[in-house]
Structure 1
């Protein structure tokens, strides 16, 4: 199929012909929201949209509003099918976005540009067009300001957009609205699982002054026992080979820095590697796979990852090699270790927790290793679910980006 600049790469069946470029100012009327700020928000009252929502909780279509105020008599209210664009924000990228309002009677707060399209144009399609691709880039360039940037209605009026006929606009708008709803559902499920995990972490480890958790897995009843961390793990620091000696670098040994830790359960592959000679000429040590938890001891204190392949670290770690404790159980109680480390950390240039300070941490653990393993497996299942949900959410977001690039001119 031959493609030109005025037709998209992917098109729904039944639609053909070039898209037509229009200046937004020729097909819409413009106004501004009025009054109200975050300090006016209350738990219930009249629904309102404030400008910050548009770049902190971006939605192509806003059909439900969960923020409320006491209504003033001069309030500006939606009539349904308007487009709103934030008039100010922290960055041009943040505010170069638009949302379509489907609900009538919603108060539109100050610092909102309001765009009312003529009947031949879809608000959902136009909001998508403004918020993505070349149109977003052009609108970002029009934003003015330093500490606070602004987009004015005059900037929107001069924006050039390509449109198919209304029927095709509606089909595309509905399609991407469905994708957004699917993404929102996926994000909500992921958030609920994270909340569920946080609740279980709170209830499946004993609270201060207690020797049993609030929630117990079936078949276990003994009191948990107190141990110093050094009794159940070997604590190992790291080191850095001379960075000016090329013989020490780009070898076969994974070598981690703290910035690589904290976003994933497992550490699989480091950004930098060192040679055997580099290992020998530094205080770095080889840490065993599957038995080691990397624990950051500087700056971002308390970030953790389970080592999947043997590796070394720089001096920003005090890593734990399990001796008499289930690795995933220890990883799961990482929030408690982090709290302690942050409480005891010290330093003038940056906060740091030492091996000596970590060694004497007193932790409560089940005396029965089977219970440790059961708890570790329970949280591993939750973490696996979270990882799968995050992967699915990312795939949906990537699919949307790819389709936006192919289905718009």
Structure 2
């Protein structure tokens, strides 16, 4: 079989040559073993965690600087590709962008400087293919945590066409990346807009016209605890969990109920407020949806239904505010971490606003429209990522 891709730009016909990564790289180098410090406004420090898992770009929102002596040999420069060498992110890559500024790389990263007779972006895009991912999974296997050293990265085989074809492919995928970045930025702007609007709405800095002043109440004024107790299942079932940081519900499949040491289980209904009493202080609270219907929870996940003076569609936004999280922390006495447990009585005493039903519905409808816009834009982003993924499979050998 000829060493050519399934999909190719016209005008190119020669086979691609197979080369070890070590033969097209000037040298491999390990990063500096320094701790980070507050950003000094000049020198940035890139660590494994500073490389975005989805875009492979440097995360510039909260930069730090390296401490200690700064040596130029640790500066990332043009044609440099960084490889993560240890941990769960082993194999993750980043290619230097001048817009990222003066950047030093950390010790858990390996720098490969691509020889100028090769296109570094073309080489970088090969690290985003399924072929590369499969290689990483095999080579990184260790008795402890995953890892790949410089010698192993040097042994990886890449397929190389003419320099002109490299440049053509690299330019094409760079354009796709720009579209993905713009779509990602659009989503982040929408999320920031939603966050800002929620802050102003719940602080009543902005109001819809024609509604009365909000009443002040407590959670016990709008909630009733409702427990749908069932017998412990003998057959496999799905149980419901609550993610921390206000990230909603998730489901776990229980294949063998006999291994679960729980005598009391309760069935979940749609539009219930459920809180994880162990991690309430981490904002583990949510309002259930249709997909959660019929799932089971233990006594550590008290379930509540809303009274007639409250709409779950309004309070699903309010419970995600920083102010509400603050109250959850205060209602969870105890030490640090897992020793903090939500006090149910204190929970129901948490102060809340109670607008009129019509205003609750108006606010919920407004915020829901923003959510729908975000969801549609996230679907577009996913399509772009799938399009890129498919082309990577077709245009590389």
Q: Tell me if both proteins adopt one fold, taking TM over 0.5 as the criterion.
A: yes
Among candidates 356, 359, 363, match of residue 352 of structure 2: 363
Among candidates 324, 332, 343, match of residue 330 of structure 2: 343
In structure 2, what is the equivalent of residue 23 of structure 1? 20
In structure 2, what is the equivalent of residue 314 of structure 1? 297
In structure 2, what is the equivalent of residue 219 of structure 1? 210
In structure 2, what is the equivalent of residue 209 of structure 1? none
* Equivalent residues in 2 for 1:38-77, closer than 5 Å: 38-40=35-37, 42-46=39-43, 48=44, 50-52=46-48, 55-56=51-52, 59=55, 67=63, 74-76=71-73, 77=75
Instruction: Give 1:162 shift.
Output: 1.1
In structure 1, what is the equivalent of residue 92 of structure 2? 97
Instruction: Give 1:218 shift.
Output: 3.2
In structure 1, what is the equivalent of residue 309 of structure 2? 324
Q: Distance in 2 between matches of 1:334 and 1:73?
A: 46
Q: Distance in 2 between matches of 1:403 and 1:320?
A: 48
Instruction: Give 1:126 shift.
Output: 0.6
Q: Say whether the 8 Å CA contact 1:125–1:170 is kept in structure 2.
A: yes
Instruction: Give 1:107 shift.
Output: 4.5
* Equivalent residues in 2 for 1:166-181, closer than 5 Å: 166-181=163-178
Q: Distance in 1 between matches of 2:93 and 2:252?
A: 40
Structure 2 unaligned spans of 5+: 255-262
Among candidates 228, 232, 244, match of residue 218 of structure 2: 228
Q: Distance in 2 between matches of 1:52 and 1:151?
A: 14
Q: Say whether the 8 Å CA contact 1:55–1:95 is kept in structure 2.
A: no
Deviations along 1:271-323, whole A, 9 cap, x unmatched? Answer: 79xxxxxxxx9874674x5xx23423444434213434864643324132341
In structure 2, what is the equivalent of residue 83 of structure 1? 81
In structure 1, what is the equivalent of residue 388 of structure 2? 400
Name the stretch that deviates more: 15-24 or 5-14: 5-14
Change (3 A) 1:199 1:49: same
In structure 1, what is the equivalent of residue 105 of structure 2? 109
SS of 2:27 mapped into structure 1: strand
Instruction: Give 1:123 shift.
Output: 0.5
Among candidates 150, 155, 159, match of residue 156 of structure 2: 159
Deviations along 1:172-201, whole A, 9 cap, x unmatched? Answer: 222222222222222222223223322333
Instruction: Give 1:30 shift.
Output: 0.2
Q: Say whether the 8 Å CA contact 1:96–1:131 is kept in structure 2.
A: no
Is 1:296 the counterpart of 2:259? The answer is no
Name the stretch that deviates more: 178-187 or 73-82: 73-82
Change (3 A) 1:406 1:241: farther
Computing the radius of gyration from Cα coordinates, the structure with the larger value is: 1
Name the stretch that deviates more: 48-57 or 164-173: 48-57
Instruction: Give 1:12 shift.
Output: 2.5
Change (3 A) 1:125 1:27: same
Change (3 A) 1:146 1:178: farther
Q: Say whether the 8 Å CA contact 1:230–1:360 is kept in structure 2.
A: yes
- C-alpha RMSD over aligned residues: 4.1
Instruction: Give 1:164 shift.
Output: 1.9
Deviations along 1:114-149, whole A, 9 cap, x unmatched? Answer: 333334321011112134322343345444877676
Q: Say whether the 8 Å CA contact 1:98–1:128 is kept in structure 2.
A: no
In structure 2, what is the equivalent of residue 257 of structure 1? 240
Q: Distance in 2 between matches of 1:283 and 1:95?
A: 40
Deviations along 1:330-378, whole A, 9 cap, x unmatched? Answer: 2221135554344324699876547655444432212x33222221112
Change (3 A) 1:382 1:18: same
**TM-score computed with the length of structure 2 as normaliser:** 0.76
Q: Say whether the 8 Å CA contact 1:296–1:317 is kept in structure 2.
A: yes
Name the stretch that deviates more: 22-31 or 348-357: 348-357
